[in-house]
Structure 1
């Protein structure tokens, strides 16, 4: 399995950061059938070929994901899209 590991700084209050992360997760759920749930300040998500989490701390987000075989070939574009969305939201 291939992996994604992105750390992204932010300056939002925790409540607003969590809300923004949840908005992104909701879009992923609509577009790709990903399911997600919060456990403390960590949003876990999974779907066909992906299993990951987003840890929200007061000054950064940490996105980690394991990609299944079929998504491994798309790791670069997936990572680029995650970075683009993080730059847009945070």
Structure 2
């Protein structure tokens, strides 16, 4: 079961939402050595201590993150930051 689950509505085309997600994934890879792969409309990502998926559909993005033992105590802080970032990436007025 995921430690963090966030659903963010969007009004982008699915292709635009996936491109926005890939842009974030590229930055995360550069900043935090997170690897990611697409399977259909689901982006899977991982690194030591963190794994998850970001599923994109026509109206929302659903993020599920599983944290390793060392990061579990930071879940509320991580969730708050990720929620803000998802709102920016998938902004309704974008």
- What's the CA shift for 1:2? 6.2
- What's the CA shift for 1:32? 1.0
Contact 2:14 2:58 in 1 (8 A): yes
The equivalent residue for 1:8 is 8
The equivalent residue for 1:89 is 89
Structure 1 gap ranges (5+): none
- Number of residue pairs matched? 90
The equivalent residue for 2:65 is 65
Structure 2 gap ranges (5+): none
The equivalent residue for 2:49 is 49
Distance (Å, rounded) in 2 between the aligned partners of 1:89 and 1:52:
18
C-alpha RMSD of the superposition: 1.3
TM-score by length of 1: 0.94
For residue 38 of structure 2, give the secondary structure of its aligned residue in structure 1: strand
Distance (Å, rounded) in 2 between the aligned partners of 1:26 and 1:86:
15
TM-score by length of 2: 0.90
- What's the CA shift for 1:41? 0.1
- What's the CA shift for 1:28? 1.1
The equivalent residue for 1:30 is 30
